[in-house]
Amino acid sequence: DKAGHKHFMAKEIAEQPAVIGGALGHYLSEDGRQINLPGEGIDFTAINRLTMVACGTAYYACLTAKYWFEQIAGLPVDVDIASEFRYREPPVTSGTVALFVSQSGETADTLAALRYCEGRADAIVSVVNVPESSIARESDLALPIHAGVEIGVASTKAFTCQLTVLLLLALKAAQARGMISDDRLADLLSALRAMPAALNTAMERDGDFKTAARLLSTYDNALFLGRGLMYPLALEGALKLKEISYIHAEAYASGELKHGPIALIDDTMPVIVLAPCDTLFDKTVSNMQEVMARGGQIMLISDAKGAADAGEGVWQTLTMPMVDPILSPILYALPVQLLAYHTAVAKGTDVDQPRNLAKSVTVE
């Protein structure tokens, strides 16, 4: 049942405010000020490393979480693609928690990586959407994301729910390790509780995304750029666009632009820049100027302040509500999803069942 939407993907994008709100309800105390993990949780004071493993979009959720765990909780994090991790024979030293992220909980490579960590890591934790799945069952602690059934092959609501649960986990780690003040924690939790409303506000701009997507649908290539927390999201944006619209898209950390990809820039290569107005914004503005000086067209996804500070020459601007920069990946997932969705619709591709792809990859 698509609940009045043209595609499951559109329905699942639209469900995000509700399911994120629901996930927060499962993990926060009634007054919204305490983070509660099921069972005995994780003793973040007893560990010195987190090793995160996943595939595809779930891997990008892990890359995002690395910034959170390291910046907020001071906990070193390794992130790996499951198919690489499992065959590299990486040392898993004592004091390591191994964390696996999977919507289906059945991805073959992720499950094999989990089994490799059994008996090596201090504890096996998973962040899953299907609580009865193999990955959940074989974990010491399974943290459900409560996204509800996801049918569209391209993951959307599972990604933002994964981010929500991983951010809560990073905040819990920061609290346990004495890395965050009570006030800052309370501020971030209240900003998280306001996230469903921010997503709803952003969704009211659907017409802008549709217009931008129609333009994008006429190109064969696209480049996504982001810095800091926006870098993993740039990767996710490129993946979403290529898998459902078949437009070739790549993502780079903005600072890598001049180390190679700038050679690709001309008027046939639109550049989508994810950049809320944070402390790194000025650096991103100079990257945009480098692109524009070479005839490249910039599609900027930012907030009102960023849109104003970006200066002249930006091709398209998509304006998002202001949020605490720490939370921006959850909010900025929406424009990359909507851009990919509307581009695919404009191109007439099969949005919910892209060619060659399966929802659950149970063979390697």
> What is the enclosing helix (H) or strand (E) of 52?
strand 49-54
Comparing CA positions, the residue from 273, 330, 326, 332 lying closest to residue 297 is: 273
Read off the DSSP letter of residue 297.
-
Residue with Cβ nearer ligand F6R (15 or 303): 15
The burial class, CB within 10 Å (0-12 / 13-18 / 19+), for 226 is buried
User: Considering only 40-48, 86-94, 101-109, 277-285, which stretch makes contact with ligand F6R by CB under 6 A?
Assistant: 101-109
Selected from 51, 96, 155, 297, the binder of ligand F6R by CB under 6 A is 155
Residue nearest ligand F6R, CB atom distance: 56
Q: In 3-state terms, what secondary structure has residue 99? A: strand
Taking CB under 6 A as the rule, does residue 104 contact ligand F6R? yes
- Of 53, 154, 189, 310, the one binding ligand F6R (CB under 6 A) is 154
- Among candidates 57, 87, 277, which has minimal Cα distance to 166? 57
Q: Is 245 in the site for ligand F6R (CB under 6 A)?
A: no
Query: d(Cα 120, Cα 95) in Å, to the nearest integer?
Result: 10
Q: Is 175 in the site for ligand F6R (CB under 6 A)?
A: no
Q: Is 280 in the site for ligand F6R (CB under 6 A)?
A: no
Please name the residue that has the structure tokens 């609501």: 157
- Please identify, among the stretches 33-41, 49-57, 138-146, 222-230, the one whose residues bind ligand F6R according to the rule CB under 6 A: 49-57
The answer to whether 240 is a known catalytic residue is no
Q: Among residues 16, 96, 102, 134, which is the contact residue for ligand F6R, using CB under 6 A? A: 102
Applying CB under 6 A, the span of 18-26, 102-110, 172-180, 217-225 interacting with ligand F6R comes to: 102-110
Which one, of 9, 56, 64, lies nearest residue 339 by Cα?
9
Contact residue for ligand F6R among 51, 96, 107, 287 (CB under 6 A) = 107
In this structure, what token pair is assigned to residue 186? 């309370």
C-alpha separations of 201 from 17, 188, 196, 197, 204 in Å:
10, 19, 9, 6, 5
Cα-Cα-Cα-Cα torsion 146, 148, 154, 157, nearest 10 degrees, comes to -50
| Cβ closest to ligand F6R, residue 58 vs residue 223 | 58
Residue 328 in the binding site for ligand F6R (CB under 6 A): no
Element (H, E) at 7: none
Residue 241 or 331: which CB sits closer to ligand F6R? 241
Tokens of 165: 């649960």
**Judged by CB under 6 A, which of 64, 103, 302, 317 binds ligand F6R?**
103
Binding test (CB under 6 A) with ligand F6R, winner from 51, 57, 317, 319: 57
Is position 56 an interface residue for ligand F6R (rule: CB under 6 A)? yes
Asked if residue 361 binds ligand F6R (CB under 6 A), the reply is yes
Contact positions toward ligand F6R, by CB under 6 A? 55-58, 102-104, 107, 110, 154-155, 239, 243, 360-361
Give me the active site residues, please. 359
